Structure 1
Amino acid sequence: MTLSLSSQHYDIIIVGGGVNGTGIAADAASRGLKVLLCEQNDLASATSSKSSKLIHGGLRYLEHYEFSLVRKALSEREVLLKKAPHIIHPLKFIMPHQAHLRPAWIIRLGLFLYDNLAKRTTLSASSGVRFDQLSPLKPDITKGFTYADCWVDDSRLTILNAVAAKQDGATVLNYCKCTHVCQQQDKWQLTLTPVTGKSFTVTANALVNAAGPWVSSLFSSIDNYQAPQQIRLVKGSHIVVPKIHAGDDAYILQNPDGRIVFVLPYEQKYSLIGTTDVDYFGAPNDASISQQEIDYLIAISNRYFKHQISENDIVSTYAGVRPLLNDESVDAQKVTRDYTLEQNWQHPTLPLISAFGGKITTYRKLAEAVVDALQPRFPGMGACATKHQPLPGGDFVSRADLLKQLQIKYSFVQLSVLKRYVSTYGTCSYLFLADCNKLEDLGQDFGHGLYQREVDYLSQHEWATSADDILWRRTKLGLTLTPTQKNVLDSYMSGNNKIAKVAEMVGSL
């Protein structure tokens, strides 16, 4: 890899492999630019795999008068639902009403705005609801409201943007850190250091800093530049427990401290409960859920649901650090989720653009704005086309139809596995199922429907290098595989990596 990439020149280099970085790479590559993206860890390994996994306008942001952000996010909700029907789907939310927390008229007004701030063609309108004895909520909770938003597999959204960029000619490097940046006459020179291997240099006409929680600290690696602003790190933590209510609806719970917590259906058998929104001052990689946050999430769930949970029920936890604009809000939950772009043209033809803040729902708009800002440097590039381009695997009419097609052609594969293929890969499922005629053709079974064909596909086409890459970011099978099964997968991946390195060395000779 390093031998073939050393001294290569690109139109644009993007530092950061989260959803913003890969979104920018996909947009730029689709317009004909020569793109390189580097990420110090795995793609989507930080904020972009540790969100609440929602494509939403942000109902609670209306309380902070962020009407422009909500309108923009609601518009993008419809766009993304059409772009990625395999990894994004509508989700009905139920909000139990607690009159002492928020009056009904305020909630009705907020939901009216939510329904009408942007054009809504797919999702249903909000309404009131009454709960009976069959409700999973406690008996004293008798009424509430419903509205619609969307669920997203956040890490796959990130990775599929990287795949889209690659399909348009971009070079994507994960586990490859940008360690130094300097100006070399009329171009940027970057030193990149892979986790395994020697450092090498590449050059570019434009540099984009999409490093998320590291967006400000990256400037310490750039000669003669200072960070134009600082970010505020806000930690959002979640717990995963066995499913606490029947059905596929989500719940949005109001807490006396003014915060809200989601209880979301997760991977068929689980409930995902979060988030917490607390200021964070440590290294982004070290973020983890605190005991206080665990107690907080358990308490609010138990305040509303008949089914009571305890810490012993927790199957998994995660904590993500959101890099938000430091708008001097007193409370972490009130910090704006909007983004801003800082453009620096110290050299008249050498742009540096840094993305500060943002939320997963508006990643595509952020990416479009970044690449549009580079128009003066690349006057011949095309117009943005990402609004109407499906993400890889998203070129189908409905999940049900695609599942039927897969069932007919691959009847030997368990229905539950085919359903996972549809919601993970969409039509890209055919890429690793192509010549399979019996179950044995899928190769080694690592457990819970994870077969060698899928593992090899993820290694060869989606940059997976370890069991964690596969089990937590490209799938969520880390919830179900046993420690022994994970070790077997890790051993297999280690062998794959050795074979890949030998092939790489041979290919470089």
Structure 2
Amino acid sequence: MKRDIEKIASRAYDVVIIGGGIYGAWALWDATLRGLSALLIDKSDFGGATSSNSLKIIHGGLRYLQHLDIKRMRESIHERKVLMSIAPQFVHPLPCVMPTYGHGIKGKEVMGMAMLMNDIIGFDRNKGCDPQKKLPAGKAISKDELLKILPGLDETNLTGGAIWYDCQVYNSERLLISVIKSAVKKGASAANYAQVTEFITTKDKVVGVKIRDELTGKQFEIRSKIVLNTSGPWINNMLGQLNGHQPAEKFQLSKAMNLVVNKRITQTHAAGIPSKFEFKDSDAVINKGSRLLFFTPWRDYTLIGTTHVPFPGDPNDFAITEDDVTTFLDEFNQAYPAMAVKREEVVYYYGGLLPMDDTGERASEHDVKLTKHYKLLDHQAENGLDGLVSVLGVKYTTARDVATKAVNILMKKLNRQGKTETENTVISGGEIPDFESYLQDENKKRPWGLNADIIEHLILNFGKDYPEVLEFLSENEQWKEKVVSDSDVLFAEIVHGIRDEMAVRLVDVVKRRTELGSGGYPGDTAAKNCADLMANELGWDEEKKQTELEFLQRSYLTAK
């Protein structure tokens, strides 16, 4: 997967996709498998914006029970199973727990019934799956069992808990990159750091885009039969470029944030506990009066989420502030004082912008009402402009399915035949029908004398493609060394990211091509070691290298 904007701009496409987040990535893969010539472009790096804001959970929609939204539950359960099947290197089962209180709607009896309903609605969740991906039935547990998982939890009216199973993504950034690589291997084109500056139109039809290479400043025109806009929170900005064809209503956005804590609050289970702050969901059939704070063990960290506040500004000005972090941290600590987190233990945060339905009737900033359903806009029907379709997504879990529906629209408008194949086609590196057996077999091989921990690390990040990383050791065996002693990331992964995955900035490698800095700043030594290798590969001088180091460091800081 090479970055060559002059080459990709030299031809026309069936579809140009704007926005390299998870929705754009799945759309590229789907369109390519259906035989469309497709190009994906992003103004920054792939997955560098809203798609990076995640609790890493692929959920089966248990929360939708309170809305009696069985359709959304089935969609989420189906997508969870699909992702375990087509991306087995990344998606793995995760036990979850929730405390029960009293004998009302928060009680063990009601939650026990909810677990039963969840299992009935997800009756086919284990059909034909890898044994490692099997999701056990949910169950109610005693108060003593609950306190072993969540020690020190307030015992007032505590009656026990409920356990169910969802999934966790080991590395959501690499999952996204792997989807794009899958499409490129099948003939698609892609380029990061390519800013759309203007739609090309003739009369009432979009026929392409003008782009600027953000690395060189060069500008290009790219023609296409249709354009798919998956720009996420930049949707208003993009549609604002449609002179005379802008939608009448702008989409409202909320700021979402998850915290990364440098310790395990729970060892095995993700957990949802009630916030002390009141929350009203006007769409819920069963309204519990408070929102859940969810925290999950991930690698050596705990992820805590998710907070939402209205965001009325321009997405280009989005930032997580110190006040955002401390306010949310205070909310969590009030909910679980026995496991209170200190500010210095919060080593990073994930932030992004999500669509919300703003009625102006919020009792407090905690009453943000997120948009519950995705939107697909055919602009010919919406405002008389042919050749443009926009997607507004709301969930990471169901992004593949929404992308499929978007490509269905493209196929119809292009008078092309063909159904989606992404549901049954593994992504690059995912040809692993039995994950545990594959892991054991590869550990026995010990390629290049690497130990079992390194082999497992490589498989969790690259799946069956991990030998592609090790191929670089034939050029320089020293690249099998760790970048820094307290991480399993190898120098070979840095080279692989640069040469084969379009990593052009230090932050691309540290945060998105490897797991080195996806949980927090990896330290000056690791950053410098990466920068030295990138400087050698890309021809950076000392000034450029220092600029990249400073930019990386700033990316981990909150705004004032």
Deviation per CA, 1:127-184, whole angstroms, max 9, x where unpaired? 1012436444216255110011111232223212111111121111111111100214
What TM-score comes out, normalization by structure 2 length? 0.82
Partner of 1:388: 424
> What CA deviation, in whole Å up to 9, does each residue of 1:268-319 have, x standing for no partner?
x211111112222233352215425434335435643644321122222222
Per the alignment, residue 115 of structure 2 pairs with 111
CA shift digits 1:56-99 (9 cap, x unpaired)? 13333333444332221122111111111111111000111233
Identity %: 26
Q: How does 1:120-269 map to 2 (within 5 A)?
A: 120-121=125-126, 122-132=134-144, 134-138=148-152, 140=155, 141=158, 143-152=160-169, 153-184=171-202, 188-197=207-216, 198-227=218-247, 229-245=249-265, 247-256=267-276, 257=278, 258-267=290-299, 269=300
SS at match of 1:243: coil
Rounded to whole Å, the distance in 2 between the matches of 1:183 and 1:303 is 54
TM-superposition CA deviations, 1:447-495 (whole Å, max 9, x none): 1232232111112222222221122223331136312320231232244
Deviation at 1:105, TM superposition (A): 4.2
- Per-residue CA distance 1:21-49 (angstroms, 9 max, x = gap): 11101000111110011101111111111
Distance 1:337 1:471 in 2: 33
Aligned counterparts of 1:307 and 1:439: Cα–Cα separation in 2: 46
What amino acid is the match of 2:257? S
8 Å Cα contact 2:95-2:164 kept in structure 1: yes
1:436-475 → structure 2 map (5 Å cutoff): 436=473, 440=477, 442-443=479-480, 445-447=482-484, 448-475=487-514
Rate the CA distance shift 1:440–1:142 in 2: closer, same or farther, 3 A: farther
CA distance in 1, matches of 2:512, 2:208: 31
**Distance across 2 between alignment mates of 1:28 and 1:228:** 29
Q: For the Cα contact (< 8 Å) 1:69–1:338, is it kept in 2?
A: no
1:403 shift after superposition: 2.2
Superposed, which structure 2 residues align to 1:288-327 within 5 Å? 288-301=320-333, 303-304=335-336, 306-324=338-356
DSSP 3-state at the match of 1:165: helix
| 2:66 aligned partner, one-letter code | E
Secondary structure class of the residue paired with 1:360: coil
Partner Cα distance (1:292, 1:354) in 2? 31
**Paired residue type of 2:228:** V
> Which of these residues, 36, 42, 48, is aligned with residue 33 of structure 1?
36
Q: 2:377 aligns with which of 342, 345, 356?
A: 342
- Aligned residue identity for 1:458: G
Cα drift, residue 325 of structure 1: 5.6
- Which residue identity does 2:167 align to in structure 1? C
Structure-1 separation of matches of 2:539 and 2:211: 21
Distance 1:385 1:54 in 2: 24
Correspondence for 1:415: 452
Q: Is the 8 A contact 2:480 2:491 kept in 1?
A: yes
Question: Would you say 1:19 and 2:45 are equivalent positions?
Answer: no
Choose from 71, 74, 97 the match for 2:74: 71
Instruction: Give the distance between the partners of 2:369 and 2:500, measured in 1 at CA.
Output: 40
Matched, 1:92 2:95: yes
Deviation of the 1:436 alpha carbon: 4.8
Match of residue 528 from structure 2: 487
Runs of 4+ in 1 over 6 A off after TM superposition: 346-349
Conserved 8 A contact 2:206-2:387:
no
Q: Following the alignment from structure 2 to structure 1, what is the Cα–Cα distance between the partners of residues 376 and 42?
A: 20
In the alignment, the residues of structure 2 paired with residue 473 and residue 376 of structure 1 have an alpha-carbon distance, to the nearest angstrom, of: 35
Q: Distance in 2 between matches of 1:110 and 1:150?
A: 18
2:106 is the alignment partner of 1:102: yes
CA–CA distance in 2 between the matches of 1:96 and 1:73? Answer: 23
Q: Is structure 2 residue 308 aligned with structure 1 residue 277?
A: yes
Query: Does structure 1 retain, via aligned residues, the 8 Å contact 2:262–2:347?
Result: yes
3-state SS, counterpart of residue 533 of structure 2: helix
Counterpart of 1:42? 45
Specify which of 369, 380, 387 is matched with residue 405 of structure 2.
369
Which has the higher mean CA deviation after the structures are superposed, 86-95 or 427-436? 427-436
Q: What SS does structure 2 have at the residue aligned with 1:276?
A: strand
Any conservation in 2 of the 1:250–1:262 contact (CA below 8 Å)?
Answer: yes
Q: Deviations over 1:361-401 (max 9, x none)?
A: 11111111111112233334432111011111111123322
- Are the counterparts in 1 of residues 45 and 192 from structure 2 also a CA contact under 8 Å? yes
Between stretches 208-217 and 377-386, larger displacement belongs to 377-386
| Aligned residues of 1:230 and 1:326 also touching (Cα < 8 A) | no
Amino acid at match of 1:340: K
Q: Residue type matched to 1:120 in 2?
A: R
CA 1:395–1:182 in structure 2 vs 1: closer, same or farther (change >3 Å)?
same
Cα displacement string for residues 235-286 of structure 1 (whole angstroms, at most 9, x for unaligned residues): 221222233345321111122321111111112x211111112222233352
**Aligned mates of 2:313, 2:61 — CA distance in 1:** 27
CA distance in 2, matches of 1:439, 1:417: 18
Q: Distance in 2 between the 1:296 and 1:137 partners?
A: 21
Q: Are the counterparts in 1 of residues 95 and 163 from structure 2 also a CA contact under 8 Å?
A: yes
C-alpha distance in structure 2 between counterparts of 1:487 and 1:442, whole Å: 15
Matching residue's letter, 2:510: L
Helix, strand or coil: the match of 1:216? helix
- Unaligned 5+ segments in structure 2 are 127-133, 279-289, 541-560
The aligned counterpart of 1:430 is: 467
The aligned amino acid for 2:240 is S
Q: Is the 8 A contact 1:181 1:223 kept in 2?
A: no
